Amino acid sequence: MTKFEVTTLSEYILNKQMTIPQSRGGFSHLLHHVSTAARMVNREVNKAGLVDILGEAGNTNVQGEDQKKLDVFANDHFIDAIRGCGEVCAIASEENESFIFFDDEKGRNGKYVFLMDPLDGSSNIDVNVSIGTIFSIYRRVTPVGEKASMEDFLQPGTAQLAAGYILYGSSTMLVYTTGNGVNGFTLDPSIGEFCLSHRHIQTPEDGRIYSINEGNYKKFPKGVKKYIKYCQERDDATQRPYTSRYIGSLVADFHRNLLKGGIFIYPETETAPLGKLRLLYECNPIAFLAEQAGGRASNGEKRIMEIQPTSLHQRVPFYTGSKNMVAMIEDYLTDFAHKNSKRFKAAQESVSHN
């Protein structure tokens, strides 16, 4: 029988820490607490139908969205886990109006801030569809020993030290990057550990999947409408038509496209002219992962991670996935906003000929 060597997340983090000169283990300790919170949320997700944790919590979050009971559970347990690690001075969550600072000695001396969407895709909870957690870690900019401020959170995505997501699906996966590639770990329930299962993930430069809520088609910018038509037209040379796949959970849609190749699209609309997804909690961490895996992330005009945040709950249009697909939709957005451009006419001719 072949013997398989298993590397747990804890072992992987420790081995990486040993390669960093002068590392004192604080960052590794923080990542360990993230995985601990993920296991706790996973436990509740897996038995949600058996306990009184499905359905509405009876509250709305700062976004004006109805909170599910699991939303509240995930938010509370991640906050408690991050507070307990002693490495973080403050935390910001999509579920809370403002950030939470830890006003004790350990909190004031924390070197990092933590941002999260504790339960992405929570509208899918009651129908047993994959959901996830998205997180991002920055080094604080205020002096250690002082109370954290908004300045610590309003940093561009290029300043991220780490980002990742936990996917609660048919198996539970933790996928993260510290700026040196992307690795995925699958939870082994028999030992209660995340084990390395996807080493050095690289997303294809091109893909054949586009993920968008086409129910909002009439509200999309013209460039997005034209790109969708491009995806749907038959062309054997480019293996079109492409496949439309949309779950409604950013983590689940992005994870599938990351592995198989594709593009996730959440544009601005007539009713949401600034977009819907949150820059700090969703777009920046997913963009960091996409780029580290060889992909691309954009607001349609600019690299997501270069946007300077102006508020905790800032929303932006979001296009991410295989780099050639993202580049093409950027072209469509530009060209169909400037109808006299040569590229617009060429794209128009290409669509009309197929």
Quick one: 239 exposed, middle or buried, by C-beta within 10 A (0-12, 13-18, 19+)?
exposed
Q: Is 120 labelled as part of a ligand binding site?
A: yes
Q: Do the annotations mark residue 281 as ligand-binding?
A: no
179 is in an annotated binding site: no
94 labelled binding-site residue: yes
- Does 123 carry a binding-site annotation? yes
CB count in 10 Å sphere of residue 23: 12
- Is 149 annotated in some ligand binding site? no
Question: Would the annotation count 47 as a binding residue?
Answer: no
Q: Show the tokens assigned to 178.
A: 């510290």
- 122 belongs to an annotated ligand binding site: yes
Residue 119, marked binder? yes
147 annotated to bind ligand: no
130 marked as part of a ligand binding site: no
The binding site for substrate comprises 120-123, 213, 246, 276
The binding site comprises 94, 117, 119-123, 213, 246, 276, 282
The binding site for Mg(2+) comprises 94, 117, 119-120, 282
